[in-house]
Amino acid sequence: MRYFFHILTGFTVISDNEGAEFADQAAAEEEAAQSGRDLIAEELRCGRPAPVHWQVQITAADGGMLKSIAFSSLVNGMGRAAGASAQDAALAAVARITGFQERIAAAGRTSRLLHAEIRTAIAEVRHTLQKLDRP
Protein backbone atom coordinates (compact mmCIF):
# COMPACT_ATOMS: atom_id res chain seq x y z
CA MET A 1 0.00 0.00 0.00
CA ARG A 2 1.20 3.55 -0.69
CA TYR A 3 1.68 5.87 2.29
CA PHE A 4 2.48 9.59 2.37
CA PHE A 5 4.49 11.45 5.03
CA HIS A 6 3.62 15.14 5.42
CA ILE A 7 5.76 17.28 7.73
CA LEU A 8 4.03 19.99 9.77
CA THR A 9 6.51 22.58 10.98
CA GLY A 10 4.11 24.84 12.80
CA PHE A 11 4.38 27.42 10.04
CA THR A 12 4.13 25.33 6.90
CA VAL A 13 3.23 21.91 5.62
CA ILE A 14 5.83 20.06 3.59
CA SER A 15 3.69 17.77 1.46
CA ASP A 16 4.82 14.36 0.29
CA ASN A 17 3.35 14.17 -3.21
CA GLU A 18 5.04 10.89 -4.19
CA GLY A 19 4.59 8.62 -1.19
CA ALA A 20 6.18 5.21 -0.84
CA GLU A 21 5.06 1.60 -0.80
CA PHE A 22 5.12 -0.31 2.48
CA ALA A 23 3.95 -3.79 3.39
CA ASP A 24 1.69 -2.45 6.15
CA GLN A 25 0.98 0.57 8.33
CA ALA A 26 3.45 -0.55 11.00
CA ALA A 27 6.29 -0.50 8.46
CA ALA A 28 5.18 2.95 7.26
CA GLU A 29 5.08 4.23 10.86
CA GLU A 30 8.60 2.97 11.55
CA GLU A 31 9.90 4.68 8.41
CA ALA A 32 8.08 7.90 9.29
CA ALA A 33 9.62 7.85 12.78
CA GLN A 34 13.09 7.26 11.33
CA SER A 35 12.57 10.07 8.82
CA GLY A 36 11.61 12.35 11.72
CA ARG A 37 14.75 11.38 13.65
CA ASP A 38 16.82 12.04 10.52
CA LEU A 39 15.27 15.52 10.17
CA ILE A 40 15.99 16.27 13.84
CA ALA A 41 19.61 15.18 13.38
CA GLU A 42 19.98 17.31 10.26
CA GLU A 43 18.64 20.40 12.04
CA LEU A 44 21.10 19.84 14.89
CA ARG A 45 24.01 19.26 12.48
CA CYS A 46 23.19 22.61 10.85
CA GLY A 47 23.34 24.34 14.24
CA ARG A 48 19.59 24.88 14.47
CA PRO A 49 17.43 23.90 17.45
CA ALA A 50 15.81 20.48 17.50
CA PRO A 51 12.39 20.91 15.86
CA VAL A 52 10.48 19.36 18.74
CA HIS A 53 7.27 21.19 17.74
CA TRP A 54 7.19 19.53 14.29
CA GLN A 55 5.21 16.42 13.47
CA VAL A 56 4.90 13.93 10.67
CA GLN A 57 1.45 12.90 9.49
CA ILE A 58 1.03 9.58 7.75
CA THR A 59 -1.79 9.49 5.23
CA ALA A 60 -3.23 6.90 2.90
CA ALA A 61 -3.52 7.36 -0.87
CA ASP A 62 -7.07 8.70 -0.44
CA GLY A 63 -5.75 11.48 1.82
CA GLY A 64 -7.14 10.02 5.04
CA MET A 65 -4.83 10.60 8.01
CA LEU A 66 -3.70 7.36 9.64
CA LYS A 67 -1.34 8.61 12.33
CA SER A 68 0.48 11.71 13.53
CA ILE A 69 3.89 11.40 15.19
CA ALA A 70 5.16 14.34 17.22
CA PHE A 71 8.89 14.97 16.86
CA SER A 72 9.00 15.61 20.61
CA SER A 73 8.13 11.94 21.17
CA LEU A 74 11.00 10.95 18.89
CA VAL A 75 13.52 13.08 20.79
CA ASN A 76 12.29 11.97 24.20
CA GLY A 77 12.40 8.31 23.20
CA MET A 78 15.85 8.38 21.59
CA GLY A 79 18.53 6.43 23.39
CA ARG A 80 16.04 4.59 25.56
CA ALA A 81 14.75 1.91 23.21
CA ALA A 82 16.20 -1.58 23.31
CA GLY A 83 19.24 -1.72 21.06
CA ALA A 84 19.48 2.06 20.75
CA SER A 85 23.00 3.22 20.04
CA ALA A 86 25.13 5.49 22.15
CA GLN A 87 25.02 7.98 19.27
CA ASP A 88 21.22 8.12 19.62
CA ALA A 89 21.59 8.81 23.34
CA ALA A 90 24.07 11.60 22.65
CA LEU A 91 21.79 13.08 19.99
CA ALA A 92 18.88 13.03 22.42
CA ALA A 93 20.95 14.84 25.05
CA VAL A 94 22.04 17.48 22.52
CA ALA A 95 18.40 17.93 21.48
CA ARG A 96 17.42 18.46 25.12
CA ILE A 97 20.20 21.04 25.53
CA THR A 98 19.01 22.86 22.41
CA GLY A 99 15.45 22.83 23.72
CA PHE A 100 16.59 24.34 27.02
CA GLN A 101 18.43 27.08 25.16
CA GLU A 102 15.25 27.87 23.20
CA ARG A 103 13.25 28.07 26.43
CA ILE A 104 15.79 30.46 27.97
CA ALA A 105 15.75 32.69 24.89
CA ALA A 106 11.94 32.66 24.73
CA ALA A 107 11.67 33.62 28.38
CA GLY A 108 14.14 36.45 27.86
CA ARG A 109 15.90 35.59 31.09
CA THR A 110 18.11 32.86 32.46
CA SER A 111 16.90 30.38 34.96
CA ARG A 112 19.02 28.56 37.51
CA LEU A 113 16.87 25.47 37.05
CA LEU A 114 17.37 25.44 33.29
CA HIS A 115 21.09 25.98 33.72
CA ALA A 116 21.21 22.99 36.08
CA GLU A 117 19.32 20.90 33.52
CA ILE A 118 21.75 21.99 30.82
CA ARG A 119 24.74 21.09 32.97
CA THR A 120 23.23 17.66 33.61
CA ALA A 121 22.56 17.10 29.91
CA ILE A 122 26.11 18.18 29.03
CA ALA A 123 27.46 15.73 31.59
CA GLU A 124 25.36 13.00 29.93
CA VAL A 125 26.83 13.91 26.54
CA ARG A 126 30.39 13.82 27.93
CA HIS A 127 29.75 10.44 29.54
CA THR A 128 28.25 9.03 26.33
CA LEU A 129 31.11 10.38 24.22
CA GLN A 130 33.64 8.85 26.61
CA LYS A 131 31.90 5.49 26.17
CA LEU A 132 32.11 5.93 22.38
CA ASP A 133 35.89 6.54 22.59
CA ARG A 134 36.48 3.23 24.36
CA PRO A 135 37.48 0.32 22.10
Packing angle of the helix pair 112-133, 86-107 (nearest 10 deg): 160
Neighbours of 49 (CB within 10 A): 17
| pLDDT tens digits for range 7-56 | 998 888 899 999 999 999 999 999 999 888 888 888 888 878 888 889 99
pTM of the predicted protein model: 0.57
| pLDDT tens digits for range 87-104 | 566 666 666 656 655 555
